[in-house]
Amino acid sequence: MADVTLRKVVKRYDEVEAVRGIDLDIADHEFVVLVGPSGCGKSTTLRMIAGLEDITDGDIMIGGDVVNDVPPKDRDIAMVFQNYALYPHMTVAENMSFGLRLKRYPKAEIKTRVDEAARMLDIVELVDRKPKQLSGGQRQRVAMGRAIVRNPKVFLFDEPLSNLDAKLRVQMRIEIKKVHQKVRTTTVYVTHDQIEAMTLADRVVVMNNGRIEQVGTPNELYHKPATRFVAGFIGSPAMNFMTCKLEDVGGKMHIRLTDSIIFPLPPARAERYKTISRTDKLLLGIRPEHITEASPHPEPGVEPFDVVLDVIEPMGMETMIYFIMEGAEICGRVNPNADARAGAPMRLAMDLNNMHLLNEASGAVI
């Protein structure tokens, strides 16, 4: 087991820069998820750690040793691929033991390790089957088993759950988390699914355009996003953004959303935003759960406003509502018992204690 360090890592394909100078420290035993839209460089980064791609510039260290020019087999890593990449002509046990057999481990030791991994992954009765006789979820378990038996310094996962159906994905997610709690191997996990990232990670690395947007625990990213990209990417349904202005009314700072909607800012927020120029173009970012039905006894900082609902989506435990404000579609979450009907007016409340203010030009959260 070991820590992984990336220093100014760059990957260039001819003229295209896929990864543009990444710095990242992954601690021993840590579960780090790289998340971002397709083409953001997350898979390339993982493949560079694996040694499947050369590094154009920078350094990658595993357990303190620079491994830039170390071939994959000598990096002591194991990787789980999106399409499982099981050897089709070998049984499950042979698949899992392939790496150990190449390294000429004693037969007894191989058997012990394979049995142990099979028990951990609940695939004991499948060890004599061929991959084509397995379901998708079982194949993914075998692929994980192949990684576990090697007892490597680092696990690398490249979108391992993308080929599974939604239900199985949730199940396997839990499975992966359980495995990590048992073996505690340093793990780097790539996905485009932010829910997977949030649920699995000790720390999430949000990537965009070959750069790291923000690194943090799932809660930090959710509650304190640093950029508009992170704010919009993490959370489902996504955070709402609406143009706004700061105005001073009667000596107190207010935020104006439309000609008719203007809210006083809670004192803590007013303090934080006091240096912002009143003429700056700003965006208000607010998550759907902070737009709810208005209550007769509102908390401080929760401001009521009236809208006409566009669409409603009852989900059972809550109802998603959609309305248009200044041309932008805004999503809110209301109690299923609230009287929300499409096309009807409704009194809502916005919780400004949980608002985010962004600079529209730079996308930075203030």
Partner 1 sequence: MTSTAVIDKSAPTRTVKLRSMSRDRTWALRWSYFFLTLFAIFALIPPLYMLITSLKTSAEISAATNPWWVYHPTLSNYVELLTSNQFLTFFRNSALVSIFVVTITMLISVPAAFALARMRFWGSATLATGVFLTYLIPETLLFLPLFKMFVVFGDMTGIQLINKWYVLLIVYPTLTVPFCTWIMIGYFASIPKELDEAAIIDGASWFQTLTRIFIPVALPGLIAATIFAFTVSWAQFLYPLVFTTSTDQLVLPVGIITTLIKGDVFAWGQIMTGALLGAAPPLIIYAFLMDYYIAGLTAGATKG
Which residues here bind partner 1, judged by CB under 8 A?
Answer: 50-52, 71-73, 77-79, 81-89, 98-99, 102-103, 131-132, 139, 146, 150
CB-nearer residue toward partner 1: 87 or 324: 87
Reduce the secondary structure of 190-233 to three states and give it as a string: EECCHHHHHHHCCEEEEEECCEEEEEECHHHHHHCCCEHHHHHH
CB-nearer residue toward partner 1: 79 or 117: 79
Lateral strand order in the sheet of 240-249:
262-264, 252-256, 240-249, 282-286, 356-359
Q: To the nearest whole angstrom, how small is the minimum distance from the Cβ of residue 13 to partner 1?
A: 12
CA distance 78 to 149: 9
Q: To the nearest whole angstrom, how small is the minimum distance from the Cβ of residue 144 to partner 1?
A: 12
Q: To the nearest whole angstrom, how small is the minimum distance from the Cβ of residue 187 to partner 1?
A: 15
CB-nearer residue toward partner 1: 85 or 262: 85
Tokens of 274: 């006091």
Tokens of 250: 């009667």
CA distance 15 to 341: 53
CB-nearer residue toward partner 1: 58 or 99: 99
Q: To the nearest whole angstrom, how small is the minimum distance from the Cβ of residue 132 to partner 1?
A: 6
Q: Kindly tell me the number of DSSP H helices and DSSP E strands found in the chain.
A: 9, 21
Strand partners, 254: 247, 264
CB-nearer residue toward partner 1: 132 or 167: 132
CB-nearer residue toward partner 1: 60 or 286: 60
CB-nearer residue toward partner 1: 55 or 215: 55
CA distance 187 to 365: 30
Q: To the nearest whole angstrom, how small is the minimum distance from the Cβ of residue 291 to partner 1?
A: 44
CB-nearer residue toward partner 1: 94 or 313: 94
User: Which stretches of 207-366 are DSSP H helices?
Assistant: 218-223, 228-233, 267-272
Q: To the nearest whole angstrom, how small is the minimum distance from the Cβ of residue 325 to partner 1?
A: 46
Q: To the nearest whole angstrom, how small is the minimum distance from the Cβ of residue 153 to partner 1?
A: 12
CA terminus-to-terminus distance, the chain = 39
CA distance 364 to 366: 6
Q: To the nearest whole angstrom, how small is the minimum distance from the Cβ of residue 9 to partner 1?
A: 19
Phi, psi of 337 (to 5 degrees): -85, -10
CA distance 68 to 207: 22
| CA 127 from centre of chain | 33
CA distance 36 to 42: 7
Q: To the nearest whole angstrom, how small is the minimum distance from the Cβ of residue 143 to partner 1?
A: 8
| CA 40 from centre of chain | 13
CB-nearer residue toward partner 1: 85 or 168: 85
